[in-house]
Amino acid sequence: MPKSALYIITGSSKGIGKALVEQLLEKDGNQVIGIARTQQEMAHPGFLTLALDLSNMQEILDNLGSIMPDGDYEKVVLVNNAGMIGPIEHLGKLDPKKIHQVFMLNTIAPTVLMNSFVHKYGNRKEMERVIVNISSGAARKAIDGWACYSASKSAINMLSEAAALEAALDLTGIRIFSVAPGVVDTDMQADIRLADEKAFSSLSKFVSLKENELLSSPKHTAKKLIELIENTGRFDGVQQDVREY
């Protein structure tokens, strides 16, 4: 009997994460663990949903055993997709608790999950192991009103680069990517379009992208991510952009 592939997807209840879950489950033998704040209703024998708040460290620590299960798999893949843009406002006007929440969800939670993944599967060289962190074009460009979001995603890029260097030095064989998904038609984009132009000078640009139907669909973006996951040997370098392959 062929071994199954295990995919661990955070932010699995909507947007890119939901599209990833749906497409991965189309292939027989795939098992998917979906992590979101609310329980997902999906009747599929290969799907397990975990209702967790990834901005709560204790919830993560209490559930690491369920997030990273034991098993004999052909492949294990972690996709750190959950994220939030947070309040769109200039520094000096931000709620400190919201600052903490943005970095917790966008940077610290993925770091903790990566650490657990490497600890759990680092020596399992008989399995293909892949980590995909969802980054952003904003990680490479300062955007007013997005200071926390941009910084949190920039940190994800460097975290991924350092983790890939460590994987090479430790000879674990784990492939690690930080992927910019492009501008995708998700709830986050809807939130961006509701921003105050005084706090976000690029507002009109993002409104125009929606009005002119220039946003990528979550389904298309998920398909591009799966292309990378299933063909890691084709990709050199840690930082990738779905618009460039």
Homologous superfamily assigned to 5-183+217-244: NAD(P)-binding Rossmann-like Domain (3.40.50.720)
Q: 114 with 78: CB under 8 angstroms?
A: yes
Q: What is the pLDDT of residue 41?
A: 80
- Bridge partners (DSSP) of residue 6 are 31, 76
In this prediction, residue 42 has a pLDDT band, given cuts at 50, 70 and 90, of confident
**pLDDT for residue 237 is more than 80:** yes
First to last CA, the chain: 34
For residue 188, which phi and psi values (nearest 5 degrees)?
-60, -40
In this prediction, residue 136 has a pLDDT band, given cuts at 50, 70 and 90, of very high
Percentage of residues in the chain with pLDDT exceeding 70?
A: 99
**pLDDT for residue 91 is more than 80:** yes
- What mean pLDDT do residues 48-64 have? 97
Question: pTM of the full predicted structure?
Answer: 0.97
3-state SS, residue 181: coil
| Residue 65 to residue 83: CA distance in whole angstroms | 22
Report pLDDT digits (tens) over 162-193: 999 999 999 999 999 999 999 999 999 999 99
Domain ranges for the chain, please list them.
5-183+217-244
Q: What is the pLDDT of residue 155?
A: 99
Report pLDDT digits (tens) over 64-89: 999 999 999 999 999 999 999 999 99
Four-point Cα dihedral 235, 239, 243, 245, nearest 10: -10
